[in-house]
Amino acid sequence: MKNTKNQQIVIGGAVIFKENRGKRQFLLVKQKENESWEIPKVTVRRGESSVRAVIRLASEQGGMAVRVLEEAGRAVGSTIVNAKSIPQKFYYYLMLQKGGSSDLIGFDEFKWVEYADALKRLSLKREKDMLKGGKDVLKEWEKTHNLKKQEVVMF
């Protein structure tokens, strides 16, 4: 993108959850040692959709098979690149881990934690809002798809 006027960075966020022994857990990661816990995110490549980017993140870095349920939320921000402020758009998606590895590459650390613990560990307000949005979307999704938490576990 040579035109800096329209330059913008699009980020896909993956609010990934799984059912583990009857408890719902969410994935949090640390990009680098001594950084704070966050929701996994990936920069969307040119010509790629934000949904495709988060699926790529889950499969390439997470070794996971996932199902995108719904969008969990959107946010805007900015970052500094070459001393210029570049706008960012964030698209977060609620995703169910269907299977795959428990070893995640490309992150310094990762943890599967229950919702309340995840909320405490996240430091950015945007991340907390997206986790809450994901939980709300999941509640609504379960209603409209006639699935209860227990039924998801039984299937």
Superfamily of domain 9-154: Nucleoside Triphosphate Pyrophosphohydrolase (3.90.79.10)
Q: SS in 3 state form for the chain?
A: CCCCCCCCEEEEEEEEEEEECCEEEEEEEECCCCCCEECCEEECCCCCCHHHHHHHHHHHHCCEEEEEEEEEEEEEEEEEECCEEEEEEEEEEEEEEEEECCCCCCCCEEEEEEHHHHHHHECCHHHHHHHHHHHHHHHHHHHHCCCCHHHHHHC
pLDDT at 16: 93
Condensed to tens digits (0 to 9), the pLDDT of residues 78-122 reads 988 889 999 999 999 999 998 876 667 667 788 999 999 999 999
pLDDT at 14: 95
pLDDT at 31: 80
Condensed to tens digits (0 to 9), the pLDDT of residues 17-63 reads 998 888 899 999 988 777 899 999 999 999 999 999 999 998 888 78
pLDDT at 61: 81
pLDDT at 147: 56
Condensed to tens digits (0 to 9), the pLDDT of residues 113-149 reads 999 999 999 999 999 999 999 999 988 888 887 655 5
